């Protein structure tokens, strides 16, 4: 059975329905995205990204939010532990309350960060760079935009450039005017 046959991924289904129905000048995707981000996650997961992330299992996720990506990773057979400063009451997966320093306990796991905040005060934080400062493992799986984009601060991107090598960039479904991907870094 392929990973596509195993995954239940309502976010991807809704994303495809919205984007496929909209013309390039429509505001519909923007308004629908706002609702879906609140329900699922900032980035849209697909089977290819989930399969790639699972290949780096076991994983520790910081800033897990709703736990939606973790839920898909678990469906695909991945081993993931999730943390967030403010876990959702109705998470898709188990998300424990913790600061970025929780990665200190998981040097044996790959670090997963999905859309570390930058642009939207009061969400603007050093969460991504703090997680990298505490992480002693070898692999970082980062979903967001590149340096200068709307995810993670400059310090985060600087630390990646200095301490890690970019191994691979995996395309993921993108909302209009969003340029996020899965970036895989290794020490």
Residue 164 domain boundaries: 8-186
One-letter-per-residue 3-state SS of 56-107: CCCEEEECCCCCHHHHHHHHCCCCEEEEECCCCCCCCCCEEECCHHHHHHCC
Q: Is residue 40 part of a domain?
A: yes
Residue 1: its pLDDT value, please? Answer: 38
pLDDT in tens, 121-142: 555 578 999 999 999 999 999 9
The structure's pTM equals 0.92
DSSP summary character for residue 25: T
Residues in the chain: 187
CB 127 within 8 A of CB 62: yes
Q: Is residue 3 part of a domain?
A: no
Segments in the chain forming alpha helices (H): 3-6, 10-21, 28-39, 47-54, 68-75, 127-134, 154-163
* 3-class secondary-structure state, position 144: strand
How many structural domains compose the chain?
1
Q: Is residue 71 part of a domain?
A: yes
Q: Is residue 1 part of a domain?
A: no
Q: Is residue 102 part of a domain?
A: yes
User: What is the distance between the alpha carbons of residues 138 and 35, in angstroms, rounded to a whole number?
Assistant: 35
Q: Is residue 65 part of a domain?
A: yes
Report the 10 Å Cβ neighbour count for 147: 11
Positions of the chain with pLDDT lower than 70, given as ranges: 1-5, 22-28, 119-124
| CATH at residue 141 | 3.40.50.150
Residue 105: its pLDDT value, please? Answer: 95
Q: Is residue 2 part of a domain?
A: no
Report the 10 Å Cβ neighbour count for 139: 17
User: What is the distance between the alpha carbons of residues 88 and 103, in angstroms, rounded to a whole number?
Assistant: 20
Distance of CA 153 to the CA centre of its chain: 15
pLDDT in tens, 6-34: 789 999 999 998 887 766 656 667 788 98
């Amino acid at each position: 059975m392929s990973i596509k046959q195993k995954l239940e991924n309502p976010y991807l289904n809704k994303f495809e329905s919205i984007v496929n129905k909209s013309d390039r000048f429509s505001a519909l995707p923007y308004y629908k995205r706002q609702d879906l981000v609140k329900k699922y996650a900032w980035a849209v997961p697909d089977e290819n990204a989930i399969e790639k992330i699972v290949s780096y299992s076991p994983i520790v996720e910081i800033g897990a939010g709703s736990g939606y990506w973790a839920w898909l990773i678990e469906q695909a057979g991945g081993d993931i532990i999730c943390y967030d400063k403010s876990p959702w009451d109705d998470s898709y997966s188990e998300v424990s309350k913790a600061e970025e320093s929780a990665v200190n306990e998981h040097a044996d796991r790959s670090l997963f960060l999905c859309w570390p905040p930058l642009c939207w005060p009061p969400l603007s934080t050093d969460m991504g760079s703090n997680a990298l400062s505490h992480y002693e493992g070898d692999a970082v799986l980062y979903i967001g935009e590149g340096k200068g984009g709307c995810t993670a601060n400059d310090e985060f991107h600087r630390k990646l450039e200095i301490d890690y090598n970019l191994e691979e960039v995996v395309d993921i479904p993108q909302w209009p005017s969003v340029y996020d991907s899965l970036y895989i870094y290794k020490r």
